[in-house]
Amino acid sequence: MNSSGQRGLTLALLTLTLFATLFPQCQPAEGKKITYRRLVTIGLTRFQFGRTCVLVGGQIKSGDFFSGLVKVSIAGSYEFRKHSQSVRTFPDDLDILLRATLSECEATSVTPPQDPVYKDLMRSLRIEIAWKSGSGVHWMEHLTARVKSAPLQQQFGVWNYEVTVPSKDQSIDDQLVVVLKTEDGKTLGTIEGGL
């Protein structure tokens, strides 16, 4: 890898480290608690498309469901509580929020991509979502991703997407799998995570 490619990779790794520091998602030590806020980070993925590097972060929300939700470590396991009540399932629907930040891979700082091809890619991005549990993976059908970023944000390489996923009676222990694909079905990246 040439030195400018290494700089781009270093920049991406620094961004990932900062994101992970700001939004820790870890198993608490015995007796410890994690208190969630309105938005919960579920993971990151990075991919390259031509000269454009793309970093995508995923979060979930559902009204005030996550606000004040607590994950408590108990006897080598954990449980979720809200207002002193045990919580075992997600609410009826979750909104998955994805933020894609694009930059020239060879740049020494975050630089919006110059290649116009990336706009076509981001407009036609396919987002496939599944629930993953101990019994396997269940892919969701008929989901629609909505582009939520303004044209000015897009011009500066920031694309926001929102997808509403049915989650009624889904165990709070289950994981979400988000797969990003090109229009022709090539997998670009995967985010997998949960609480």
Domain containing 150: what range?
3-193
Positions in the chain whose pLDDT score sits under 70 = 1-31, 107-116
The pTM (predicted TM-score) of the whole model is 0.78
> What local confidence, expressed as pLDDT, does residue 80 receive?
93
> What local confidence, expressed as pLDDT, does residue 69 receive?
95
> What local confidence, expressed as pLDDT, does residue 115 receive?
65
- pLDDT tens for 88-103 read 999 999 999 999 988 8
> What local confidence, expressed as pLDDT, does residue 87 receive?
95
* Domains in the chain, number: 1
Closest CA to 53 of 98, 19, 13: 13
> What local confidence, expressed as pLDDT, does residue 24 receive?
47
| Separation in Å, CA 186 to CA 13, 74, 103, 124, 180 | 24, 42, 21, 12, 8
> What local confidence, expressed as pLDDT, does residue 22 receive?
46
> What local confidence, expressed as pLDDT, does residue 29 receive?
57
- pLDDT tens for 112-127 read 666 667 778 888 889 9
CA pair distance 109, 157, nearest whole angstrom: 13
